[in-house]
Amino acid sequence: MEGCLITFEGGEGSGKSTQLGHVADYLSKKGYPVMQTAEPGGTEIGKAIRALLLSGRHDPISPKAELLLYLADRAQHIEQVVRPALKNRKVVLCDRFTDSTLIYQGYARGIDFAEMKSLLSFAADAVVPDLTLLLDIDVEKGLLRLKKRAEINRFDRESHAFHQKVRQGYLALAKQGPSRIRLIPADQTEAAVFETIKKEVDVLLP
Ligand code: TYD
């Protein structure tokens, strides 16, 4: 038996990183061996790729180059971090994964989904999450939360229309996408959001 992979997805300021921390504490207390990780930047090479992608120092980055950099980050992350952890029967909690690429580079930047599909699977080495928690929040509210942060990246500075596309993309994915995806309304208190998430996690890991 292998471990399992839970991914956290959502637009800017949806609170997914905070909730990932809560889930890690919760599952650790239940006795599960948990590993927390994130994309982009979950490996040494990944940190360098993350800086290329997010610092804004290399603009303009073509949408195709951007896609391939995210996929390079993922390929390394899967081989070096995620696969070994799954083999060790860990519960891997990953902040963003393939769905982020589908939504940001596909839906929002406009790269054709059919063209991307095999690349996504190739980079992820066919790893598919067991559960995806998709945190949904109104774009204005999310961006307002972001302003309180120290680090503002290249995507945070994108237009309002871009962030709307990201939200619509995620909502469409939750509606038509695979059953592993759970839509979590994130415009509630941190504790209330966690209560909703806990119910979903308990189904997978009783
Ligand atoms: P990060 O600082 O990790 O932001 P967040 O807290 O919103 O996750 O920045 C990651 C950014 O990279 C985020 O704006 C989404 C974007 N991204 C993509 O465009 N494609 C991808 O495949 C991934 C993993 C992230």
Angle between helices 113-123 and 63-77 (to 10 degrees): 30
| Residue minimizing CA distance to atom 22 of ligand 1 | 101
Q: Give dist(CA 180, CA 46) in Å, integer.
A: 26
Please work out, in degrees rounded to the nearest 5, the angle formed at the alpha carbon of residue 70 by the alpha carbons of 139 and 171: 30
Instruction: Calculate how far, in angstroms, residue 11's C-alpha sits from the geometric centre of ligand 1.
Output: 9
166-176: pLDDT as tens digits: 999 999 999 99
Is residue 170 within 6 Å of ligand 1 at its C-beta? no
**CA 154 – ligand 1 centroid, Å:** 9
Instruction: Using most ligand atoms within 8 A of CB, pick from 9, 64, 81, 104 the residue to mutate for ligand 1.
Output: 104
Q: How many CB atoms lie within 10 A of CB 195?
A: 11
Look at residue 1 in the predicted model and tell me its pLDDT.
Answer: 64
* pTM attached to this predicted model: 0.97
Digit-coded pLDDT (tens) for 14-26: 999 999 999 999 9
Exposed (0-12), middle (13-18) or buried (19+): which is 133, by Cβ within 10 Å?
buried
What mean pLDDT, rounded, does the chain reach? 96
